[in-house]
Structure 1
Amino acid sequence: MSLFATLSRSVALAVMLVITSPAALAQLEPTNEQRQASVEIADSLRYGHYADINFDDAWSQDAFQRYLDILDGQRAYLLRSDIEPYRHLESGMADAIFDGDLDELFALYNTFSERQRNRTEWSLAQLDEGLDFDFDNNERLEIDREDAQWATRQSELDELWRKRLKNDALTLALTDQDEEQIETNLRQRYEGQLTRIEQTEPEDVFGVLMAGVTGTIDPHTGYLSPRQSESFDIQMSLSLEGIGALLQSDGEYVKVSSLVPGGPAERAGVLEPADRIIAVGQEDGEMVNVIGMRLDNVVDLIRGPKGSVVRLDVVPAQAVDMTRSQVVEITRDTVNLEDQAAQSEVIEVERNGESHRLGVIEVPTFYVDFDAWQAGDDDYRSTTRDVAKEVERLKEEGVEGIVLDLRNNGGGALQEANSLIGLFIDRGPTVQVRDAQGRIQLYGDSEAGTLYDGPLGVLVNRLSASASEIFAGAIQDYGRGLVLGTQTFGKGTVQTLNELSHGQIKLTRAKFYRISGASTQNRGVEPDIAFPSLIDPERIGESSLDNALKWDTVQNVQYRRYGEPENVLDRLITQHDARAEDNPNFRYLERQSTLARQLREEHTSVSLNREQRQREMEAREAEQLSLENQRRRALGMEELDEWMDARTDPTAGVAEGIEDDDASQANEGDSEVDEALEVDRAYVLESAEILLDYAHLQETQRLAAKR
């Protein structure tokens, strides 16, 4: 029977399968250890969390709703009638958690699990019977159902699942797979999902439940099972052998949230934040579909011994159709301190026939070799020490200004952020930390003198977080230099890890505040001069996370200002805008950012008509390809035939960049890949231009003041 004939089978088959499915799943129940852990978690939230939480009916309603959202966020499995027996938990969730009375919450999970299995078995039954699909009609499938109402009739879900199955088949058909390949891939996907459902254990249910509970408080508070605690400890010691990417769940998909500086994924240049991973395979094994798979299981598939290769089927962040994926390979490795060390380069800027030298120091993370430091080693490694060496080298090179590149720097040791600020100021406060009782502790630089007092710039992006934001905010508050780039992540909270009788809890205990009194939480640091970005702040960043703590302020502290860069910002922005207008890379970034946002807003459903779907996909990619080729023509580069080729072209710059062997040559000006061709490189080059403008304006002001 043809896979692509007309759909004629009655939905009665689906109903029959739901009613007469084979042996019921084992009913999962909470263990005594989990009941006790629930009580301990509730007490930790009540007495230890930074926020003043009122565990009233409103909180119970939020927690119950979040639990449902985690279970069935797309409203695809449960009926309203499945939920009704548990509605009393909307006002009783707090009591249940505080008393360790988890039976009904587990029972709700069991209902969901049964519905999930029934739907998966229905999909497999359709494959057994032979799918009859017509891809010529004008049906569409809504792809985001987070705001949809719960279905009241089984027939509503039957229709939804008919369309979802049809979309799954069409998605594979559009990748030029034949009928046999489509059936094989779909069968593998559904059988894998069924196996995972049947392997669910009480600890899995407890983890989902606690994610619903803690997620109502803030996104960084969470329960870690004994297994997750072990993985967390391994990650903190940097001995985890994997790809060096932080992942998070995004509906049915696993999304890249950030890349570990110096890690294998960053070095390979084949992953970007917000990329979605849809399948994982070992070097010689079959690809395993991970759509709908639990996050920790996906991590287990990706993790492996050093030197081995993992293959990932990735849908790029900028793709608006899940058919546009590509398989990339990454060699697993450990992340060493050396890989995260600060490094510098000198950039030559031509002005009026004269060459000017600007220094750039890349700071991937705020690190310190704690073991060597505690052992009293006089030569221990740290961010501040390594940056100081690079500053001295750049001063010897006669640079006219220094840019600290903190892009993608997710933070690290707070003490290093404080001491690094001290290289550029002469004593003073650096950050305020407020605890749950309202007590404020002031941190600062106590050493006299500065290592560098010349023109300074700080380059940041949406992935600059925590300690990076403390540093950038202090430099901005002191008027010590310019902050360039995009709004930072906005993580201004402090977490501690506390032991439970069963597992651990990561608890938000304090908030960071700048010396000006403004929090870095949620809003991050706003740059003095903004650059366009391909990272969507609605998908990446603190403000994109549910229940993120709010921005607020405390009293400012006394500190001296070193300069007034705001007085010359208008002139600097005018000069920057003029260069950006003539810079193909900046024009591309601006237009691509606008287009990507527009496409995401428009892409709320997909056509199930093959020709229409193809036209829509081609139209979107034609716009993206047009922007890329406009940039290439302006730079004298060879144009691309396919938009996806930009992901693997070595001069694309967004994802690939210069290879490691070329990077050392690039510092000497010998790279075969012209740095001006790289999109990502445009940020660094323009930062050097702006800092040179700033240096000249400062010199003009000094000369005028002497007259």
Structure 2
Amino acid sequence: MFKKLYIVLILGAAMACKAAPSKTTPQVNPGDLHPDEQQSVVLKQVADLISKYNYKKVELNDSISKVIYNRYLKSLDENHNYFLASDVKSFEQYQTVLDDDIKSGNLDNVFYIFNVYKKRYNEHIKYSLAQLSKTYDFTKNEEFTYDRDSLPFIASQAEMDAQWSQRVKYDLLNLKLASADMTKNKETLKKRYENLLSQSNKLANTDVLQVFMDALTNAIDPHTNYFNPANAAEFNIDMSRSLEGIGASLASENEYVTIKSIVPGGPADKSHLINIDDRIIGVAQGKAGEFTDIVGWRVDNAITMIRGSKGTIVKLKILPKGKNASDKPKIVELVREKIILQDQSAKKEIRTYNENGKVVKIGIIYVPAFYLDFNAYKAGDPNYKSTTRDVKLILDTLKRDGVDGVVMDLRQNGGGSLVEAVDLTGLFIKNGPVVQVRDTRNRVEVDEDEDPTISWTGPMAVLVDRFSASASEIFSGAIQDYGRGMIIGTQTYGKGTVQSVIDLDQVISPSIKEMLANITKKGTKPVGSMSKFGQLNLTMAKFYRVSGGSTQHKGVTPDVTFPAIIPLDKYGEDTEPSALPYDMIKQSTYTKVGDFSAVLPQLRKMHDDRMAASPNYKYLQEDIADFKKRDAEKSVTLNEEQLKQQRDADEAKTFERNNLRRVALGLPPLKKGETRPKKEDLDFLKIEAGQILTDYISMGNKLTATPVKTTP
């Protein structure tokens, strides 16, 4: 059966000939950012694809324009810290204009709003810098309101200045609680604010387009997304768990592009010439290439220069950690390689449980995402990176180690490749349908596991939480429907939509590309790479469990439920205003291989009895209550003594609770100032999931139920 390579998602238009109507022409100021012709093309192309092919078939009209406007405004100033009420009042004229702007490719109004935001941002940071010369009284009983999203926009400049003055005081107070040296604290804060200004001044028009595109696509549905070329590259790296480069992560620190981590076995590591906190001040391509100075660059622009195709040469001009700018840098020549991101791949561990004098070994496999190196797969690389391949290898080792059961840990797993969800399910069932996919024409395609081999036939459970989404829900839903394993944890996210990845370079017509190229040749400001227009992940289908129900909105309900550490009322598909609804279709024909209904009451009772006597369960409930309390707070005291008392009390409470948790797990308590060993595991819920599976095994249940064929 042909499998569509959908991606499930921490998931040739003409140039605009005239601007969309607006009531006021946006004012142009020095330092403003401006859209270019390529961005106009991208905007129109994305709008055209959404209007024609999105599953919801949303029409761009005044109603959706208001939603886009509100999302755009919120993305810029969600906490109401930058715009004045008068700014927002002046923007209201664009509420019902943005749909016309989008259709015509006009970004002038969008950029005007952003430029006002940037202007206000810079004004407030400069004001904050000026406040550092003041002397603050930390004995006053004042409060700083840091959560303002439910409050109106500030009406006057005087009120805005007062708000930012309090923010500076709060920043200084935080530093003062750690060090009494106020001169040093002010210098630290000065550098922090100057860095914020520097980053603001490095914003590019691509940033503006990305922010607006997020507002546009999320107004349609939560999982249709546009990625500019840089973000598309990051998305594809995340999907494949591999990249081609030098094997180092970078960050911007004090105007320098700085090495923050090094991938073992990568070119940077093998050179023995690059270390953590070294600074890259220049980059050259090939042996004879000239160096480009990258001091002060945005880190994403530097990464674009440093990454490259496998086998090519890049030269770096390195200023080692501790050296001054006046010191002579060293030159390091590296050959780029394909880097496999092992730290972001599936991992295993084995936990041992004692059950009535019998030792039970449970293999736990942590799966962070459903990743697939699609390019390597398409090219026929026999060693392409994928979740299923990694998990199969892990299962082989667990069998050799003699484990009695397997827990698949899908917590925090936000999804990935639909193909991988199907193939991974196939490691645990003989064959049969795994998921049903319905497209915009209501055609239903059933994706099946056609491989009759099973990698693990023994007892299994799947551990999920609120952030287990999309492909995670396909896998856990199929395992539950087949009766192949127990689902343990909290209700999952509820993302039941399917996205197709559209490379815009493949759909924008050659004539448009040629026109853009000619504009660049004539001396106009370059519009960016002519072969990189970005990527659209477009919702074009909806998936359903083999039992007929969608996971959309409802997610997967566990067989044994854990307390919700992640607030269900704040995170999840059912909290998204633009999300598609829940519905059902006809179930598939499939053969159930097990049924836990007879044993679940006893397993739940055993779990509940353990929790009633468990100190860790009590501490977990207290943590959840504390989180809800902190989440409801919107302000903080600026009185030094009061804040110190609060912080000290919170720190002492956390320290004591963590030690009590350690003792409950059989670990020694830590002394004040002692750091927790890195490899120490305090994951109480993971341990309990293994215990529940151990209970099942100890009851003599090993999927001995007679297979039952389920038909529509």
Both proteins in one fold, TM over 0.5: yes
Question: Residue in 1 aligned with 2:420?
Answer: 416
Superposition pairs of residues 221-232 of structure 1, within 5 angstroms: 221-232=224-235
Does 2:213 correspond to 1:210?
yes
Indicate the SS of the match to 1:497.
strand
Cα pair distance change 1:415/1:544, threshold 3 Å? same
**Structure 1, residues 531-556: CA drift from partner, whole Å, max 9, x if none?**
34655556665556674444443332
Gaps of 5+ in 1: 1-22, 248-259, 265-280, 287-295, 312-332, 651-655, 659-677
Cα pair distance change 1:370/1:198, threshold 3 Å? closer
Q: Give the drift of 1:63.
A: 1.2
**Structure 1, residues 630-675: CA drift from partner, whole Å, max 9, x if none?**
2234456443466xx68x411xxxxx434xxxxxxxxxxxxxxxxx
Which residue type is aligned with residue 166 of structure 1? Answer: K
Which residue type is aligned with residue 689 of structure 2? Answer: S
Question: Residue in 2 aligned with 1:570?
Answer: 601
Gaps of 5+ in 2: 1-27, 252-260, 265-274, 281-296, 308-315, 322-336, 509-532, 707-712
Distance 1:384 1:121 in 2: 52
Distance 2:476 2:320 in 1: 36
Question: Residue in 2 aligned with 1:687?
Answer: 689
Indicate the SS of the match to 2:548.
coil
**Structure 1, residues 433-468: CA drift from partner, whole Å, max 9, x if none?**
222333222101223464544322122334433322
Cα pair distance change 1:657/1:509, threshold 3 Å? farther
Cα pair distance change 1:506/1:35, threshold 3 Å? same
The answer (yes or no) to whether the contact 2:616–2:664 under 8 Å persists in 1 is no
The answer (yes or no) to whether the contact 1:347–1:360 under 8 Å persists in 2 is yes
Distance 1:198 1:368 in 2: 37
Superposition pairs of residues 421-500 of structure 1, within 5 angstroms: 421-448=425-452, 450-495=454-499, 496-499=501-504
Which residue type is aligned with residue 106 of structure 1? Answer: F
Number of aligned residue pairs: 592
Indicate the SS of the match to 2:641.
helix
Does 2:654 correspond to 1:649?
no
Q: Give the drift of 1:131.
A: 1.0
Distance 1:100 1:526 in 2: 44
Q: Give the drift of 1:482.
A: 0.4
Which residue type is aligned with residue 431 of structure 1? Answer: V
Cα pair distance change 1:60/1:232, threshold 3 Å? same
Question: Residue in 1 aligned with 2:661?
Answer: 631
Superposition pairs of residues 290-689 of structure 1, within 5 angstroms: 336=340, 344=348, 346-367=350-371, 382-388=386-392, 390-391=394-395, 394-395=398-399, 399-448=403-452, 450-495=454-499, 496-499=501-504, 502-532=533-563, 534-536=565-567, 542=573, 547-601=578-632, 603-635=633-665, 637-640=667-670, 648-650=675-677, 656-658=678-680, 678-680=681-683, 682-689=684-691
The answer (yes or no) to whether the contact 1:283–1:309 under 8 Å persists in 2 is no
Superposition pairs of residues 111-122 of structure 1, within 5 angstroms: 111-122=116-127
Which residue type is aligned with residue 208 of structure 1? Answer: V
The answer (yes or no) to whether the contact 1:263–1:334 under 8 Å persists in 2 is no
Question: Residue in 1 aligned with 2:38?
Answer: 33
Question: Residue in 2 aligned with 1:219?
Answer: 222
Distance 1:228 1:702 in 2: 49
Q: Give the drift of 1:191.
A: 2.0
Distance 1:571 1:52 in 2: 47
Q: Give the drift of 1:341.
A: 6.0
The answer (yes or no) to whether the contact 1:584–1:635 under 8 Å persists in 2 is no
The answer (yes or no) to whether the contact 1:483–1:529 under 8 Å persists in 2 is yes
Cα pair distance change 1:389/1:27, threshold 3 Å? closer
**Structure 1, residues 483-536: CA drift from partner, whole Å, max 9, x if none?**
123333444333223305543333222222211223233443222112346555
The answer (yes or no) to whether the contact 2:279–2:320 under 8 Å persists in 1 is no
| Equivalent position to 1:60, from 55, 65, 74 | 65
Which residue type is aligned with residue 100 of structure 1? Answer: G
Question: Residue in 2 aligned with 1:283?
Answer: 277
Which residue type is aligned with residue 203 of structure 1? Answer: T
Question: Residue in 2 aligned with 1:51?
Answer: 56
Cα pair distance change 1:309/1:640, threshold 3 Å? farther
Distance 2:52 2:117 in 1: 33
Distance 1:217 1:310 in 2: 48
Paired-residue identity, %: 38
Of residues 73-82 and 458-467 in structure 1, the stretch that sits farther from structure 2 once superposed is: 458-467
**Structure 1, residues 191-219: CA drift from partner, whole Å, max 9, x if none?**
22333333443333333322222232233
Distance 2:659 2:305 in 1: 39
Q: Give the drift of 1:575.
A: 0.8
Q: Give the drift of 1:582.
A: 4.0
Cα pair distance change 1:176/1:542, threshold 3 Å? farther
| Equivalent position to 1:141, from 140, 144, 148 | 144
Distance 1:282 1:387 in 2: 32
Q: Give the drift of 1:74.
A: 2.0
Superposition pairs of residues 166-177 of structure 1, within 5 angstroms: 166-177=169-180
Distance 1:684 1:235 in 2: 25
Indicate the SS of the match to 2:447.
strand
Cα pair distance change 1:618/1:551, threshold 3 Å? farther
The answer (yes or no) to whether the contact 2:351–2:362 under 8 Å persists in 1 is yes
Q: Give the drift of 1:474.
A: 0.4
Which residue type is aligned with residue 624 of structure 1? Answer: T
Of residues 532-541 and 39-48 in structure 1, the stretch that sits farther from structure 2 once superposed is: 532-541
Question: Residue in 1 aligned with 2:77?
Answer: 72
Q: Give the drift of 1:160.
A: 1.4
Indicate the SS of the match to 1:479.
coil
The answer (yes or no) to whether the contact 1:169–1:186 under 8 Å persists in 2 is yes
Of residues 34-43 and 302-311 in structure 1, the stretch that sits farther from structure 2 once superposed is: 302-311
| Equivalent position to 2:165, from 158, 162, 165 | 162
- The CA RMSD over aligned residues, in Å, is 4.0
Cα pair distance change 1:60/1:641, threshold 3 Å? farther
Cα pair distance change 1:569/1:32, threshold 3 Å? same
Distance 1:559 1:83 in 2: 56
**Structure 1, residues 357-402: CA drift from partner, whole Å, max 9, x if none?**
4444444444556566556677766544554455455556554433
Distance 1:132 1:575 in 2: 61
TM, length-normalised to structure 1: 0.73
**Structure 1, residues 15-63: CA drift from partner, whole Å, max 9, x if none?**
xxxxxxxx96434333232223222222122112222313332211111
Distance 2:303 2:137 in 1: 37
Indicate the SS of the match to 2:127.
helix
**Structure 1, residues 263-293: CA drift from partner, whole Å, max 9, x if none?**
89xxxxxxxxxxxxxxxx972679xxxxxxx
Q: Give the drift of 1:351.
A: 2.3
Which residue type is aligned with residue 98 of structure 1? Answer: K
Question: Residue in 1 aligned with 2:526?
Answer: none
Indicate the SS of the match to 2:433.
strand
The answer (yes or no) to whether the contact 1:137–1:609 under 8 Å persists in 2 is yes
Indicate the SS of the match to 1:141.
strand
Cα pair distance change 1:398/1:133, threshold 3 Å? closer
The answer (yes or no) to whether the contact 2:35–2:108 under 8 Å persists in 1 is yes
Indicate the SS of the match to 2:537.
strand
Q: Give the drift of 1:336.
A: 1.6
Q: Give the drift of 1:87.
A: 1.7
Question: Residue in 1 aligned with 2:86?
Answer: 81
Indicate the SS of the match to 2:96.
helix
